[in-house]
Structure formats: C-alpha cells, structure tokens
Amino acid sequence: MQKRKLRIGIVVGEVSGDTLGAELIRQFKAQGVDADFEGIGGPQMIAEGFNSLYAMDTLSVMGIIEVLKDIKALFAIRDGLIQRWQQQPVDVFIGIDAPDFNLRVSQKIKQKQLAIKTVQYVSPSVWAWRQKRVIGIRKNIDLVMCLFPFEKHFYQSHNVPAIFVGHPLAKQLPLIDDIVAARQDLGLAKDQQYIALLPGSRGSEVQRLVPLVFGAAEILQQHGYVGEFLVPAINEKRKVQIQQVLSTFSMNLQRSVNILNNTYTDAKIGRQVMAASDVVALASGTATLEAMLLHRPMVTFYKLNQLTYWLVKKMIKIPYVSLPNIIAGKKVIAELVQQDATPERLAQEIRYLMNHEQAQLQKMQHLSMHKQLISGETEDPVSAILALI
C-alpha cells in the first residue's frame, strides 16, 4: 500500500513525447499508484489529469542555432521548474526525450542537491553523436529508460544505470495492418492511391520542409501521378501554416492535397495518415519508427540551418540518421539529408517506392524489425521508477 501520494515531475517537448508520457501515466494508474503529475506536457497527458505548468510548444525547437535564438526563454522555463520543485518537491523527475532541455533540468536538480531522483526516458542519441554527453548523464541521471536494446548495452558499457523498456507502439500496433480500415477511419476512398507527406509537427520544421514536399508533389503530378497527397496537421495553427505554403503552388496541386486536422485525443493523426497511405515521405525523427511499425514503404528527409548541419555532421559517429536504418544496421530506407533533400530527389525516391516490388521488399524488412522489437525481454518502467524512489 502507498503511504502517501507521490509527486511525479515529467517534461516532454513534442507530440511523440506526449504520447509516451500519457502511456506512462496510464501505466502508473493501472498499477494502483496514487500520484500527482506535473511539469510540461501536451494534450494527451493533460487528458490523463497532468498539470502542465508551461505550454509544450515552448520546447519545440530543433537545431543548435535555432535553440540559441530561444535560449533565454528556455532557461527561464527550466529555472521556473526548479524553483517550483524546490518549494514543492517532486519525488522523481522524468525527462521524456527533449534531451537538450531535460538533461539540463536534471543537472540543475543535482547541482542544487535536491532530493529528487532523475530519469531520462528515451535515450539521447549519444551512441550516434556527441558521445562525451554520457559523462554528464552518468553524473546527473539516476536511470535511463531505453526504447531499444542496443542503447541499454551502450549505457552498461559506460557504467550508467539503464533498462530496456521497449517502445509502447511496437506492442500496440498489430503485425498485420488493415489499410482499408485506416482509410475508412479517415473517410477516404478505399481504391484511391495516396501518398503521405509528413514535414514534421514543429512550426520551424513546417516552415522549412513543407515547400520541399509540395515541390516533390508537383513533380510527381508532372510525371502522371493522379492520386491524392495526405498531409496531417497536429493542430489548427499548423494547418493554417501548411495552407499558406500550399496557396503558393499550382491549383492542380491544391486540389490534390488533403490536409487532415487532428481530431484524436491522443494526437495520432500522423499515424492514421501513414496507415492509410501507399507510400510515406516524412521528416527524419520518431515518426520513422511509427512508419516502420506500420510496415509502410517510406523515404525520409531532413534539412537544418546550414551552420547547425555543419556542426552536427562533425559529431556524428554512425552512418545513418533514421531509426529504421539504425535498428537494421544497414540502409533499409532512403535518407535525403541537407543538400540531397531537394524536390527532384524526393520525387524520384517516391516514384521508386511506387514500384510494387520495391514497396513489398521494404514492407517485409519493416515487419522483420517489428518482430525483433517485440521479441526482446523488456522491463517494467513503473516498477523501475518506484524502485528509485
């Protein structure tokens, strides 16, 4: 029996973290843990009773140079959280993804010697770049909860407490997906051809990447594509932003693009759009894992501020940036990064995947990796966190 109500601090910075945070809160409740949850969360976590002290969007900044522009505001939020938790301590702080912000929160907690345990849920890509960060993680993090088994092995080799909890989606999503049902859910024609275009959920990503995907879409139309393009919008603000860019393209393209608003409490519009599509073109990130678990043929792309890219490239230690390729240890999907991320190259890769044989090959590879992720022995995150407290 729980003697007192626990206070659990959680911080997430984007939709994928909000999904993981909401699922973690549900797991605490399912195990009968009496707790209050507060920090920074999104609509899914708030629906579970989470008290979000700041808007999640305030942390949705990508890239070294981009973060520098907002550094004062980010430090003010960090210091605001620390001040609150000095006055009203939480038992444990769980940073979900967003490592550039969350690791700094954990560092402050340790520097001020607060009696708060620190957990990082979703490992930063220390095995891929900036490996020296593992020194700070060992000093400031009491437990890393890893989504993939190879991450746990990395941390163990560096004497950092870590467990492999797996990715909830790997277990939630079935090994056999019903594309007809997915189209039905979205009110789409079952016999139409659809290409999903996912330029990201952050405002900065949309601004940078929507012209790229719409440019590729126009090229596909010029080559005879007559199907529709599906673009998910996580909220009304993003929808307006996407529509503004679309209005600068041809009327032919505008008639073929279907921007779907998120109407789900668990913000799964991106996943639904991918599940309903024949081919997926998406910004590199957590969504590539979702597309893989949906067994959809895909191509990924990304563009950063040129200086940010130059700095990041010098620190990367592995040959791939997308999760499917990292998990497979080989090139399974095409990665169009920086100068390679052009409308022409993107259209070329999409056309390649529209070849039935290539699409089937990718689907088989994705299915194999999906089975791999659910076959490993995972540990219970709630039990591990409670053991810390």
pLDDT tier for residue 320 given thresholds of 50, 70 and 90: confident
How far is it, in rounded angstroms, from Cα 106 to Cα 118?
6
Residue 244 maps to a domain? yes
Pair (217, 111) in one structural domain: no
* Confidence check: pLDDT of 58 > 90: no
Give residue 337's Cα distance to chain centre.
18
Burial of 113 from C-beta contacts in 10 A (0-12 / 13-18 / 19+)? exposed
pLDDT computed for residue 5 by the predictor: 92
Comparing 172 with 365, the larger pLDDT belongs to 365
pLDDT computed for residue 257 by the predictor: 97
Pair (137, 103) in one structural domain: yes
Query: Assign residue 370 a region: left if phi > 0, alpha if psi is -120 to 50, beta otherwise?
Result: alpha
pLDDT computed for residue 65 by the predictor: 44
Residue 230 maps to a domain? yes
Pair (276, 154) in one structural domain: no
* Confidence check: pLDDT of 310 > 70: no
**Residues above pLDDT 70, as percent of the chain:** 90
pLDDT computed for residue 375 by the predictor: 75
Q: Which of 324, 327, 317, 385 lies closest to 133 in space, CA to CA?
A: 317
pLDDT computed for residue 61 by the predictor: 58
- Domain of residue 209 covers 172-374
pLDDT computed for residue 129 by the predictor: 61
Q: Which of 328, 333, 332 lies closest to 372 in space, CA to CA?
A: 328
Read off the amino acid at residue 273.
V
pLDDT tier for residue 108 given thresholds of 50, 70 and 90: very high
* Confidence check: pLDDT of 271 > 80: yes
pLDDT digits (tens, 9 = 90+) for 69-99: 667 888 899 999 999 999 999 999 999 988 8
Residue 275 maps to a domain? yes
pLDDT computed for residue 62 by the predictor: 47
pLDDT computed for residue 372 by the predictor: 82
Pair (121, 61) in one structural domain: yes
pLDDT digits (tens, 9 = 90+) for 149-168: 888 988 999 999 999 998 88
Q: Which of 192, 178, 203 lies closest to 229 in space, CA to CA?
A: 192
Pair (383, 345) in one structural domain: no
Among 49-63, 249-263, 292-306, the minimum mean pLDDT is found in 49-63
Pair (122, 232) in one structural domain: no
The beta strand positions in the chain, using DSSP E, are 6-11, 35-41, 51-55, 92-96, 117-121, 143-146, 162-164, 194-198, 228-233, 257-261, 279-283, 298-302, 334-337
Among 62-66, 216-220, 257-261, the minimum mean pLDDT is found in 62-66
Read off the amino acid at residue 232.
P
* Confidence check: pLDDT of 146 > 90: yes
pLDDT computed for residue 218 by the predictor: 97
How far is it, in rounded angstroms, from Cα 68 to Cα 63?
9
Among 200-214, 235-249, 273-287, 295-309, the minimum mean pLDDT is found in 295-309
Read off the amino acid at residue 282.
L
How far is it, in rounded angstroms, from Cα 224 to Cα 209?
23
| Averaged pLDDT of the chain | 89
Pair (366, 383) in one structural domain: no
pLDDT digits (tens, 9 = 90+) for 201-253: 778 888 889 999 999 999 999 999 999 999 999 889 999 999 999 999 999 99
Pair (136, 224) in one structural domain: no
CATH number at residue 381: 3.40.50.2000
Comparing 265 with 388, the larger pLDDT belongs to 388
Pair (114, 41) in one structural domain: yes
Residue 1 maps to a domain? no
| Number of compact structural domains in the chain | 2
Pair (33, 130) in one structural domain: yes
Residue 370 maps to a domain? yes
Pair (178, 116) in one structural domain: no
**Residues above pLDDT 90, as percent of the chain:** 66
pLDDT computed for residue 329 by the predictor: 83
Pair (275, 323) in one structural domain: yes
Alpha helices in 112-235 (DSSP H): 133-140, 149-157, 168-172, 179-185, 203-222
Strand ranges across the sheet with 143-146: 51-55, 35-41, 6-11, 92-96, 117-121, 143-146, 162-164
